[in-house]
Amino acid sequence: MKVTIDPQRCQGHGRCYDLAPELFGEDDEGYGRVLGDGVVPPGGERAARVAAANCPERAIVLAEE
Ligand code: F3S
């Protein structure tokens, strides 16, 4: 699984990096960003799904690989 954030949709709600800090961080303005290359490590799928489900802007895109 791989995660990306659609920068057109992200409004900086911050739930992604609160809920899954191992996958997401924040930029200088509080917008979410994917850490590293966005590939979800083994066991991280649930956190990725929780983060995606809790983004009010539906900005987090999950891609199954
Ligand atoms: Fe942005 Fe959604 Fe995270 S709006 S900061 S991707 S919770």
- CATH number of 35's domain: 3.30.70.20
Distance between Cα 65 and ligand 1 center (Å) = 22
- State if residue 33 touches ligand 1 by the CB under 6 angstroms criterion: no
Taking phi first (over 0 means left), then psi (-120 to 50 degrees means alpha), and beta for anything else, what does residue 43 get?
A: left
CA distance 35 to 39: 9
pTM for the model stands at: 0.94
Q: How high is the pLDDT of residue 34?
A: 98
Q: How high is the pLDDT of residue 3?
A: 98
Distance between Cα 59 and ligand 1 center (Å) = 6
The model's pLDDT over 3-59, given as tens digits with 9 standing for 90+, comes to: 999 999 999 999 999 999 999 999 999 999 999 999 999 999 999 999 999 999 999
CA 45 to chain centroid? 11
Domain limits for position 46: 2-63
Using an 8 Å Cβ cutoff, are 48 and 1 in contact?
Answer: yes
Number of domains composing the chain: 1
pLDDT band for 65, please (50, 70, 90 cuts): confident
- State if residue 5 touches ligand 1 by the CB under 6 angstroms criterion: yes
Alpha helices (runs of H) in 1-65, residue ranges in sequence order:
15-19, 45-54
Distance between Cα 20 and ligand 1 center (Å) = 11
